[in-house]
Chains A and B, each alone.
Chain A
Amino acid sequence: MLNKKIGKEKLHKHIILVVEDERPLQEAIKAKLIKEGFEVVTARAVREAYNFLKDIKNVEAIWLDHYLLGQENGLDFVVAVKENNQWIKIPIFVVSNTASPDKVQTYLRLGVHKYYTKADNRLDQIIKDIKKFLNKGEE
């Protein structure tokens, strides 16, 4: 709720939902995104993330991992997001270490924007891509 107000007050800050179960990674992603001028909401399970989406209407991008806490994984979340017309346009960036091609294909078919392998990509590079995409949309 607090974030909601802040978001409204600071016009140029993009709100991004980071769904990542691994705490150290989540911390790093969050820190870097904040550093880069993002407003960050973090979740560790699908249900939690889903609730954030419902509560925070102006989430502009989703950072999604495949394996998450609980029974559901990233795919379940994507399916849920894409079922909702309100959220269908929110770009999803899958950043995962589980790079089996079938999964990658599935994500891409479900309409995620891009798939990154964590170990092979720098944080700043991914964030740069997200920023670029968001700014493009704004223009």
Chain B
Amino acid sequence: MKIRTKINLTFLTIFTFIFLVVGFILGINSSRTLRQETSQAVVNINNAHAEHLRTYLNSEKEVISILGASTVFRDFLKLSKNSDQYQSEKMRVEKRLVRSIGSVPQIQELFILDKNGIIVASNDTATEGIDKSTDDYFINGKEEVHIKDFYFSEITKDYAYAISAPIKDDSTQKLLGIVVARMYTKNLNAIIESDVALGSTGENFIINSEKYFLTPSKYLGADVILKQKVETQNTADCFAPEEIAEMKEKAVNEYAHASHAAFTSYVDYRGKKIIGTHAYIPEVSWCLITKIDEAEILAPVYNLLWIYIFSFLTALILFFVLSNFLAQRIVNPIYQLRDGMKIVESGNLDYKIGIAGTDEVSQLAKSFDSLVVAVKKSRAEVDKKVKAQTQEIAGKAAEMSDQQKAILNILEDVEEEKEKTTILAKDLEKFKLAVDNASDHIVITDPDGLILYANRGVERITGFSIKEVLGQKAGNKQNWGGQMAQGVYQKLWQTIKKDKKNFIGELNNRHKNGEPYEVIASISPVLNAAGQVIFFVSLERDISKEKQIDKAKTEFVSLASHQLRTPLSAINWYAEMLLAGDVGKLKPQQQQYLEEIYRGNQRMVDLVNALLNVSRLELGTFTIEPSEINIVTLAESVLNELVVQIRDKKQRVEKKYDKKLPVKYSADEKLLRIVFQNLLSNAIKYTPAQGKISLSIWPEKDKIKIEVKDTGMGIPKNQQAKIFEKLFRADNVRATDTEGTGLGLYIVKALMDAIKGKINFQSVENKGTTFWIEMPATGWQKKQGTKTIS
């Protein structure tokens, strides 16, 4: 909170507090005084009016009682009706009545009842003879003066009260009759009429013993008379028995009494708060009520309050202005100081607050100014130092950042290396496992051939334990080697150590138990970056079993070729002789049958030959003996052999031999013949009569290509994948021709594989088939084997 606000608030709070306390005390006091004063005034007014009323009523009673004692009336009443004087006396009485009314203006009507209650004389003669014996004023007026309570007179059509007094025989005191005066009520109204002292809201009114209004209400008018009751604390107290008893004993002038304090703050018949009192009127058992509205009494207090508030506010504003002005005077220099400090704080050390004067704030400002000068000076020095240090730190930070980067890089590299190493270790583990458990004999040696590592295959194949052979020279007489001529080993070492090349070859070894075995060995030198041998890796596979199987197969093939062909030869030659008529001419049917036998036998021979070729091919033991041949000549010769079949089927043969074809081509004539025979005979066989067969041969890049195309039955699409399988024959071919062996294309494919050639085809069923052969333009490679293919 600002100082100015604090000063203002403090002053205002104190001021307001004092004002409120004073106002409160004043208000309470003045309202209490006003109440007391008013209360007293009300009591006084009430007393005065009550006295007046009683006096009035008593005087009226007096008047009527005097009238009752009038000898005129007495005499008249003593007369008999029938007497002569009666009428004259009556007139006298009547005159007297009228005269009385004239002299007592309050009297409305005056009449005389006889002792039986009959009106015998009246100022209004019309009423004579009316029986009033049951009337209150008759009954109660027999002994003394009686005031009959308010009633509504049917005769006058007005409210009235009546006073009756007995007329007695002056000697005997016997009742002669009663004089009755009906009184105007307006006089009563006048008596109790509001006093000026009751202000604008105060009023007096009378109620009877039944608490009905007898005089008009200031607020409700005259209609309330005998019609509305007033049930308040005031009226209840007025008719309290002790009050009545007390009042009855008191003389009229004794009425005023100090003890009879006014009621304060009770609620009147309107429900309004009033200050009021009452007075019991014993003569008529009435009650005079006097009251005034509290609001009216307190009005001056409220007025005072408003004035008080107004003056309070005025004083407040004035006070505020004053205190503000004062605060301003005190605070302004402080603000100046504060603002100056802010400017300095924001960095302007050249700023001077410079408050003139000799007070505390001015002194403070001056001290601050000199402090700032001092600070400025020291700061300049500090800045200088800091600048120097900052530069130094920045340099070091850059250095450190570089170092950190370098370290991070190294860490990354290390991490990478670690990962690589882990992967390598895993790979190495895998490789080691693989090598350890490989079925082949694997040995790693140093450059001198001393064994560094041997796998389990070594133990299994050689019979020597790994422990035994480690450190020994590999393939030495000491272990599994040294079984072959010295030259072989010399050549081996020459290859791997001097030439630093891979050695592959078959070697004869010896098992630990002395049994010889054959291996195919692959020994590779492992070189370092400088090209020096670090170690050798030797892989050896035991091929003894394969060799044995190979030998067995070879023997089987030669045996089969002999044994199968011998009976076939017998059939062949005998049939031949029979057909030649060597033992006599055959009958035509015999001739025909024999020809079938001969042909069947030829097929069997072909089949056996084909099977033999296949087995040789599979063994890989067949020989390829290339010689310089002319491909076209060979093709023509094969076509010539097939000329009979072609002519039989009336097929057309189209030949296309490229001019660029070499005159001499290096190939195995027998094998190439088999290729041509197979492809061409198939084309002829599976092409219907009058079909076309095309043979094309041409060179293309480094290849010689042969194409055999037919318009035959084709190969079903779903069987094309199997066409080169052994003994496979397509469904459509099998249905039409029984002579095929299912070996022809298999043999051609095997041959092509052996000479690094290719065979391909394209076929659409019932449209035709095209076969392509690709052979290396450089010719066939020689292959040494044990068998030729016939």
Contact = CB atoms under 8 A, between A and B. Distances in A.
State whether these chains interact. Answer: yes
B790 A97 contact: no
Contacts of B608: 119
A120 interface: yes
Given A97-B566, A98-B561, A101-B787, A32 B623 contact: no
A99 interface: yes
B576 A122 contact: yes
B605 interface: yes
B573 A32 contact: yes
Nearest to A101: B788
A32 to B, nearest CB: 6
A25 B577 contact: no
Nearest to A105: B788
A57 B120 CA distance: 232
B389 interface: no
B574 interface: yes
Interface string B570-584: 101110110010100
A31 B790 CA distance: 28
Interface range on chain B (Cβ under 8 Å from partner): 20 to 34
Given A32-B582, A101-B787, A119 B565 contact: yes
A99 B577 contact: no
A29 interface: yes
A99 B566 contact: no
Given A32-B582, A100-B558, A101-B623, A118 B566 contact: yes
Contacts of A5: none
Nearest to B577: A32
Contact of B573 (A25, A97, A99, A101): A25
Given A22-B566, A99-B788, A100-B786, A124 B580 contact: yes
Interface range on chain A (Cβ under 8 Å from partner): 20 to 34
Interface in A122-139: 122-124
Given A120-B790, A124-B580, A29 B573 contact: yes
A122 B605 CA distance: 12
B324 interface: no
B591 interface: no
A97 B566 CA distance: 7
Query: DSSP class of B's interface residues: helix, strand, loop or mixed?
Result: helix
Given A28-B577, A98-B561, A123-B577, A118 B569 contact: yes
Contacts of B790: 99, 117, 120
A24 B562 contact: no
B605 A120 contact: yes
B561 A97 contact: yes
The interface centre, meaning the residue of A67, A97, A99 with most chain B CB atoms within 10 A of its CB, is A97
Contacts of B98: none
Contacts of B564: 97
Contacts of B788: 99-101, 104
A100 B787 CA distance: 5
Nearest to B612: A99
B621 to A, nearest CB: 10
B696 interface: no
A106 to B, nearest CB: 12
B574 A28 contact: yes
Contacts of A10: none
B572 A102 contact: no
B189 interface: no
Given A98-B561, A98-B562, A117-B565, A24 B570 contact: yes
Nearest to B554: A100
A25 B576 contact: no
Contacts of A99: 561, 788, 790
A101 B187 CA distance: 185
B609 interface: yes
The interface centre, meaning the residue of B558, B564, B569, B787 with most chain A CB atoms within 10 A of its CB, is B569
A35 interface: yes
The interface centre, meaning the residue of A96, A101, A104, A122 with most chain B CB atoms within 10 A of its CB, is A101
A44 B362 CA distance: 158
B434 to A, nearest CB: 42
A120 B608 CA distance: 11
Contacts of B723: none
B568 interface: yes
B572 A119 contact: yes
Interface in B754-790: 785-788, 790
Interface string B538-572: 00000000000000000000100110111011101
Contacts of B558: 98, 100
A29 B569 CA distance: 11
A111 to B, nearest CB: 20
A97 B790 CA distance: 11
Given A99-B788, A99-B790, A123 B565 contact: no
A131 B528 CA distance: 73
B561 A101 contact: no
Contact of B565 (A24, A97, A101, A104): A97
17 contacts: A22-B566, A22-B570, A25-B570, A28-B570, A28-B573, A31-B582, A97-B565, A97-B566, A98-B558, A99-B788, A100-B558, A101-B623, A101-B785, A118-B572, A119-B565, A119-B609, A124-B580
Given A117-B790, A118-B566, 5 more contacts: A97-B566, A98-B562, A101-B786, A118-B569, A124-B580
Nearest 6 interchain pairs by C-beta: A97-B565, A118-B569, A101-B788, A119-B565, A28-B573, A119-B605
